[in-house]
Amino acid sequence: MSTASALPRRQPLARAADEFALTVVLLFLAVTVVRWLRDPGSALYIADLDVALAIIGVVSGIILTSLMFSPPGRRAGGHMNPAVTIALWLMNAFPGQSVPPYILAQLAGSAVGTGLARLVWGRAVSFPPVDYAAIRAASTWQPASVFLAEMGSMMVLIVVVGFFLTRPGCARLLPYVIGLSVGLVIAFLGPRSGGSINPARQFGPAALSGRTTDLWIYLVAPVLGAVLGASVDHALNRRFRTRRALVTIPTAFVPDLPQSPSASAAAVQGPFPVRRSVCSPQAISRWRRIVKRSPTSCGTSFIHRIH
């Protein structure tokens, strides 16, 4: 039996359940914010789309960061984005066995969260301009431009994630960086390409609203951008001989390692090669003691925590 298969088999499903819950909350709050800011009958209605999306971007960034720091976010990693899950696997930072259940949980959570918002807020969610908070590009933007914008934004985001993950001292800042980045994407690309960069963000709203014409763009482009971003990250690490601490140092945004370093490496091994000699077992034990003394430094993570 391999070291990877020795991990508890129920673990991927338990963490996927956390991802499902996180995505349900994310989509419910996303639809709620749009419902109150874009419904003409709302007391908080903002007529100017650019201003509304700027505020939505700020609120969305805060929500995303908060969910990553929540107990389910700490346990599961708080991806809430299939493209992020795939990228982390390609970056040797997430176990391949957990990728399918995570993606299914995220897409299902998207649909359930959107439907829950419809039940709570009523028919106002289904009328324009709310439309279940389905993302749509500006009429002046062609599908090719939208695709490139979504793909490029996700690629840059994954490169930024990889940069922080190779520097344990900076890794604890990653939830704030992600929240800020997503907020900026929504504020600046929202009025143009839609600013989704998350297949789960668009899947539920598009399915319930019937706006499925361009759905494939918002499903495919972020994933392709994540693959390209992981490839760029791998190339940069090889070019500058960066010693990735993803598998060996359990600080913020890094897996909580099992007792065997080889088991940890096997659990998160992706398609790209990863150096095994970054830390000795003694160094790993030392980091374990540090983490136990300062549990808040571990925080949440984009990475699957292996218990």
Q: Is 165 helix (H, G, I), strand (E, B) or coil?
A: helix
pLDDT at residue 260, rounded to an integer: 43
Percentage of the residues of the chain whose pLDDT score is greater than 90: 68
User: What is the pLDDT averaged over residues 149-166?
Assistant: 95
Helix (H) or strand (E) holding 199: helix 199-209
Contact 151, 41 (CB under 8 A): no
The candidate with the shortest Cα–Cα distance to 94, out of 78, 115, 108, 105, is: 78
> What's the topology of domain 11-239?
Glycerol uptake facilitator protein (1.20.1080)
Question: Rounded to an integer, what distance in angstroms lies between the CA atom of residue 148 and that of residue 157?
Answer: 14
Q: What is the pLDDT of residues 251-276, one digit of tens each?
A: 333 334 343 444 444 455 555 444 33
Q: Is the pLDDT of residue 294 over 70?
A: no
Q: How crowded is residue 23: how many other Cβ atoms within 10 Å of its Cβ?
A: 31
Q: Which two tokens stand for residue 97?
A: 């066995």
User: What is the pLDDT averaged over residues 21-33?
Assistant: 98
Q: Comparing 88-97, 167-176, 219-228, which segment has the lowest mean pLDDT?
A: 167-176
Domain limits of the chain? 11-239
Question: Rounded to an integer, what distance in angstroms lies between the CA atom of residue 65 and that of residue 77?
Answer: 12
Cis peptide before 273 (omega within 30 of 0): no
Q: pLDDT tier at 282 (50, 70, 90 boundaries)?
A: very low
Question: Rounded to an integer, what distance in angstroms lies between the CA atom of residue 169 and that of residue 167?
Answer: 5
Rounded to an integer, what is the distance from CA 278 to the centroid of its chain? Answer: 27
Handedness of CA 224, 230, 234, 235 (dihedral sign): positive
pLDDT at residue 271, rounded to an integer: 53
